[in-house]
Structure 1
C-alpha cells in the first residue's frame, strides 16, 4: 500500500514563522506520543484527527514558541500520515541536542484516553518511516523519544512495540461473516424508502441491501465510497461529509432524515468527501 499522505494544505497547517534548518540525513527516526489525553473518538472520526493535529501545531507555535509543529510526520489511527515539517527539515520535538540525529514521528496516542495504538496507526508510523528513508535520508534506527532524553514519551504501549523491533502488525484472523439481515426495500415512484433501521458503525459490522443501496446512491452522486454492503468506519466518514454538505448534523449515522436527503438533494462532491471539512 502506498503511503496515504495528508498534505499541509489538506490539514490547513499554519505557515511556518521562519525558514527550516536543512537536514540531509539522520541515524533514523524517533517515535513520539502526545503526552496528554487523546479523545478515543478519533478512531471513528478522521475529522477529529485533523483537528488534533492543528491543535498540536498551535500549541507548539503559540505555547512553545517554535516556528512550526515540532514533528516531521504524524500518523493517525486511519493509516493516514500528516506532513509536519517533512523530510530534509530539522524537527524540534526530540529535545535539545537530539534533533539532528533523528526525524520525529508522532503517533496520535496519549497517556490518557486513547493510549493503545491501532494497527492502522502502527502501519502509518511505518509508512512515515519508509517515506523519510526514501525522501529524507533517514537511517535504519527506530527509537523512542525517551532513548536519549528524560521523558515517558512515547508511552508504554508504543515503546514496547519499538523495543520489539517495530514489527508490522499481522492481519487479524478473518471472522466468519454474520448472516446478512434480511431487509425489505420499498420503492415509491422509484425512490427507495427508509427501511426503518439506522445505519451506523457497530460490532459486528452492519450489512445488508439497505447499506448497499445507500452506498450505490452516494457513489452515483460522485462520492468516493466502497459499494460493498458493509457499513464500517469508511462509510461513516463519507456519511459525515455528506451530512455536512447538506446541512445535517454530521453524526455519521444514516437515519431517516439522512436517507431521505440522499435521494432528494445533490450537493457538489468534494475531491475527498468526508476526509476534511473545508468549511471550518
Structure 2
C-alpha cells in the first residue's frame, strides 16, 4: 500500500475533543465514498494540496473537527491517511453510521473525472484490506448510500463495491496466462533462498527463481523495484508477508516465507508455475 501519512501530506491538527473520539467497538466493514462534486484529475504532485483543501472545507466550511474520511485514495493509487484506523470518521451520515464502518473516499466526482483509474482501484483495495487487517473491520463492503439517502459514492464506484471490489486486472477471478514459456519456481529452493540469501547487493544469488517472485511482488505493488535484486532478504520477506496477508492469512501463516498456496496464487496472477 502506498500510504501517505498525515504528516506527509501536511494535515492540520484535529480539534479536540471530538476529533479525538475513538471507535468504541470493532467496525462492521468499509463504506466507499466519492466527492459528489466536479473533479478534475491532476498530477500527483498536486494531490497533497487537494487533500489539504478538503480538510479546510470540512473543518472551516462544515465545522467538523477534522477531514471526514478515514482514508482517501487519489487517481495515482496513493492512500492518504485521514482520521485513520482509530479515530471515528464523520463522513457516513450520523454517529451510528460513522461508528459502524470506516469511510474510504476515492477522489472522483459526479462530473469531470467520474471513473476511477486502475491505480486508484488498487489503492482503494489496499485501503480496504488495511482496514480489515489492522482496523479491525469485518468483511462487509458497500457505499455511503447503503443506509443513508445519498447518491454517494456514484454509480461507478458503487458497482465496483457491489462486485466485492476486485482488483482491476483480475475482474474478480484469477487471470490465466498461456502455459508456454512460463517460468517455473521451485518452492523448496525458494524457501532455502529465503533462509540463506543475504540482503546485500552484489553477492551471489543462491536461486534465480527468487527474481521471478520478486518481479511478481513488484507488479503487485508490494516491493520497490530497486529492492528486487534476486536476494530473498528482509525487504522481500516483508513484501511476501504483505502478499500473504492480502490473500487472507495472518499470524504464523503470514511470516514472509512462501507456502504452496500463496505462491501458486501469486504465480497464477503473475505468469509463473510452481513445483514443490
**Under TM normalisation by the shorter chain, which class is it?**
0.5 to 0.7
Q: How many residues align?
A: 171
Match of 2:32 in 1: 31
- The offset of 1:48, in angstroms, is 2.3
Which runs of 5 or more structure 2 residues have no equivalent in the other structure? Answer: 176-223, 227-276
Match of 1:54 in 2: 52
Match of 2:6 in 1: 8
Match of 1:107 in 2: 106
- The offset of 1:168, in angstroms, is 1.4
Quote the Cα distance in structure 2 between the aligned partners of 1:163 and 1:87.
23
Match of 1:209 in 2: none
1:70-89 to structure 2, matched below 5 A, reads: 70-89=68-87
1:145-184 to structure 2, matched below 5 A, reads: 145-170=144-169
Match of 1:200 in 2: none
- The offset of 1:58, in angstroms, is 0.5
Quote the Cα distance in structure 2 between the aligned partners of 1:127 and 1:154.
18
Report the TM-score, using the length of structure 2 for normalisation.
Answer: 0.59
Which runs of 5 or more structure 1 residues have no equivalent in the other structure? Answer: 174-223, 227-280
Aligned-residue CA RMSD (Å): 1.9
Query: 2:141·2:162 contact (CA, 8 Å) conserved in 1?
Result: no
Quote the Cα distance in structure 1 between the aligned partners of 2:2 and 2:225.
16
3-state SS of 2:128 partner: helix
Query: 2:39·2:113 contact (CA, 8 Å) conserved in 1?
Result: yes
Query: 1:25·1:88 contact (CA, 8 Å) conserved in 2?
Result: no
Quote the Cα distance in structure 2 between the aligned partners of 1:103 and 1:15.
20
- The offset of 1:37, in angstroms, is 1.1
Offset from partner CA, 1:28-67 (integer Å, 9 cap, x none): 0000001111112x2xx11222121111111100011000
Large movers: runs of 4+ above 4 Å: none
3-state SS of 2:9 partner: coil
Report the TM-score, using the length of structure 1 for normalisation.
Answer: 0.58
More helix by share: 2
Query: 1:32·1:153 contact (CA, 8 Å) conserved in 2?
Result: yes
- The offset of 1:79, in angstroms, is 1.4
